[in-house]
């Protein structure tokens, strides 16, 4: 009894703190998280405005890779991806790659720096769960900077965690999601951060993002690696790093992922 009592009290305290922190009313999110540096909102702030919904139209997918692209996912060929150094544990379904819940994130075998990245994805046609539990995945640039994937079609959640958010930092400019089961696209123009030899930050990571043909981030800075409920901050990491895709327990599908290396160096003649 004497051991059980403190354990019960701790669980009760944990439940109470969590219940106070999470706003699960009409506006899911938190009220007890740190203020995001340079902003007036808290991380995952339940009161942060929801971006305007913009119907992106029908679009035209898939977008074929340009000649100089590195193809990371063709017709269900998972060979560019790994689960902890072994073959990726996600599934090849109908020529697409599907997150297998519980199998963990997958990561590219290669590392990248500044890139143009095209990703096509589809949240499950059958709607299950709500808020962050509905169609959640994410594209982690350099394994650290998450561009959120979520079924944000008529699915309220905190705005810095909705689809196309820089998770926990910036909501998209507008919500240009398609509905469950429809193919969508990201075109991401990503510039890696630069660090000095002493580890100081010379320039932050930044990205321009187009979601289903609609601009949702315009040369926006990441405030550091993205995280849940905590304040972002930078620490030095390699110039190149893999891309990873998140297993958040939902069977998201991906197809037609390709990138181009961005080289803003010296101009050269080309024949
Ligand atoms: Mg996610």
Q: Among residues 225, 241, 244, which one has the least CA distance to residue 99?
A: 244
* Sheet hosting strand 244-245, strand order edge to edge: 86-87, 81-83, 106-108, 244-245, 137-141, 145-149
170 CA to centre of ligand 1 in angstroms: 14
pTM of the model: 0.90
166 CA to centre of ligand 1 in angstroms: 10
The verdict on residue 269 lying in a domain is: no
Let me know: does 214 contact 176? Beta carbons within 8 Å: yes
- Domain total in the chain: 1
Tokens 């080289």 belong to which residue?
263
The verdict on residue 209 lying in a domain is: yes
Mind listing the pLDDT tens digit of every residue in the chain (271 residues)? 345 555 545 544 444 444 446 766 789 999 999 999 999 999 999 999 999 999 999 989 999 999 999 999 998 799 999 999 999 999 999 999 999 999 999 999 999 999 999 999 999 999 999 999 999 999 999 999 999 999 999 999 999 999 999 999 999 999 999 999 999 999 999 999 999 999 999 999 999 999 999 999 999 999 999 999 999 999 999 999 999 999 999 999 999 999 999 987 778 887 6
147 CA to centre of ligand 1 in angstroms: 8
> Any idea what DSSP says for residue 138?
E
268 CA to centre of ligand 1 in angstroms: 40
The verdict on residue 13 lying in a domain is: yes
CATH code, domain carrying 239: 2.60.120.560
Domain that holds residue 246: 4-261
């Amino acid at each position: 009894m004497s051991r059980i009592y403190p354990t019960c009290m701790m669980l009760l305290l944990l439940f109470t703190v969590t219940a106070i922190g999470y706003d699960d009313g009409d506006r899911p999110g938190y009220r007890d998280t740190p203020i995001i540096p340079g902003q007036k909102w808290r991380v995952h702030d339940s009161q942060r405005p929801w971006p305007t919904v913009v119907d992106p139209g029908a679009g035209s997918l898939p977008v074929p890779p340009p000649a100089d692209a590195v193809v990371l996912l063709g017709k269900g060929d998972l060979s560019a991806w790994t689960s902890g150094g072994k073959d990726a544990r996600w599934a090849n379904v109908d020529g697409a790659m599907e997150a297998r819940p519980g199998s963990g994130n997958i990561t590219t075998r290669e590392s990248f720096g500044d890139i143009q990245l095209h990703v096509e994805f589809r949240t499950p046609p059958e709607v299950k769960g709500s808020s962050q539990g509905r169609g959640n995945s994410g594209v982690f640039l350099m394994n650290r900077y998450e561009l959120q994937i979520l079924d944000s079609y008529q699915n309220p959640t905190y705005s810095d965690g909705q689809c196309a958010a820089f998770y926990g930092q910036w909501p998209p400019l507008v919500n240009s999601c398609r509905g469950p089961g429809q193919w969508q696209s990201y075109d991401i123009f990503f510039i890696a951060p630069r660090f000095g030899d002493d580890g100081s930050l010379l320039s932050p990571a930044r990205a321009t993002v187009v979601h289903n043909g609609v601009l949702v981030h315009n040369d926006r800075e990441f405030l550091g690696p993205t995280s849940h409920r905590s304040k972002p901050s930078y620490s030095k990491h390699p110039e190149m790093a893999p891309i990873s895709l998140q297993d958040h327990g939902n069977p998201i599908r991906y197809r037609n992922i390709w990138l181009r290396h961005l080289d803003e160096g010296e101009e050269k003649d080309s024949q």
